[in-house]
């Protein structure tokens, strides 16, 4: 049941993020597009194109929802967990970027890859500092009890 909830929530989060990105891309272009036009034009109908795109977003969301379990593994170092987690986030995102025509050439994929790296780094630093702060508070509480 736990996995089913993770699959369903991951799929919905993936779709939500994917369509939010569509809105951002549309805003930047000044006109609404339900996806990148070159991707959409590959299909005979808009319905099929959007269905494929939605399934891709769902799959990406599911993969990424399960990737959070990696960071909870306390048998590996933080560095090992981060490298594995980043790989599971980064590689599927680059593949999706290529398939959905977010970046169809090397420069486009490099820009997307760098953007993913920057966002990942910011999230990682914020998470690290938050956890470090919690640990410091716990240590202070323990120190007070020992005195």
**Residues 83/67, Cβ–Cβ less than 8 Å:** no
Return the closest-CA partner of residue 100 out of 27, 4, 14: 14
CB-count exposure of residue 20 (10 Å: 0-12, 13-18, 19+): exposed
What pTM was computed for the model? 0.82
Give pLDDT, residue 29.
Answer: 83
Which stretches of the chain score pLDDT less than 70? 146-147
Q: What is the pLDDT of residues 112-128, one digit of tens each?
A: 999 999 999 998 899 88
Residue written as token pair 């680059």 = 94
Give pLDDT, residue 147.
Answer: 64
Ordered by start, the domain boundaries in the chain are: 2-104
């Amino acid at each position: 049941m736990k996995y089913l909830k993770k699959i369903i929530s991951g799929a919905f989060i993936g779709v939500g993020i994917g369509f939010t990105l569509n809105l951002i891309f549309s805003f930047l272009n000044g006109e609404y597009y339900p996806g990148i036009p070159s991707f959409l034009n590959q299909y005979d109908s808009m319905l099929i194109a959007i269905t494929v795109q939605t399934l891709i977003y769902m799959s990406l969301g599911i993969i990424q929802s399960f990737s959070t379990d990696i960071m909870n593994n306390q048998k590996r170092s933080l560095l090992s967990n981060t490298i594995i987690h980043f790989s599971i986030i980064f590689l599927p995102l680059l593949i999706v970027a290529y398939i959905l025509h977010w970046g169809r050439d090397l420069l486009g994929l490099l820009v997307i890859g760098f953007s993913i790296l920057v966002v990942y780094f910011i999230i990682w630093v914020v998470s690290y500092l938050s956890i470090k702060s919690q640990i410091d508070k716990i240590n202070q509480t323990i120190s007070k009890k020992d005195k």
